[in-house]
């Protein structure tokens, strides 16, 4: 399993589960929702557009980490942990 670059090493099952279930902080999610709504209405300033881009990049990063955590857990459950 250590040959697999997608595996998250050095984390306990509890830590992996926490990552897999992680969400954006409610304040960040609220701001993201607000910016998306403004964008749909065509009311985003250039600063807000840049902020939206940064937040969407953060969502993408979170999704990747969550996916890797789930993948690692599945691999461990399949008995590949020591390979």
How many CB atoms are located within 10 Å of the residue 43 CB?
10
Residue stretches of the chain with pLDDT short of 50: 82-83
Cα–Cα distance for residue pair 32/3, rounded to 1 Å: 37
How many CB atoms are located within 10 Å of the residue 32 CB?
17
pLDDT at 3: 84
**Which conformational region is residue 13 in: left (phi greater than 0), alpha (psi within -120 to 50 degrees), or beta?**
alpha
Question: Would you say 13 and 77 are in contact if contact means Cβ atoms under 8 Å apart?
Answer: no
pLDDT at 28: 96
Query: Could you state, in order of their start, the residue ranges of all structural domains in the chain?
Result: 13-77
């Amino acid at each position: 399993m250590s040959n697999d670059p997608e595996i998250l090493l050095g984390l306990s099952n509890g830590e992996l589960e926490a990552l897999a279930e992680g969400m954006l902080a409610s304040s960040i999610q609220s701001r993201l929702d607000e910016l998306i709504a403004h964008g749909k209405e065509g009311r985003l300033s250039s600063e807000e557009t840049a902020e939206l881009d940064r937040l969407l990049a953060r969502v993408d990063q979170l999704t990747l980490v969550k996916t890797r955590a789930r993948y690692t857990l599945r691999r461990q459950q399949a008995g590949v942990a020591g390979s």
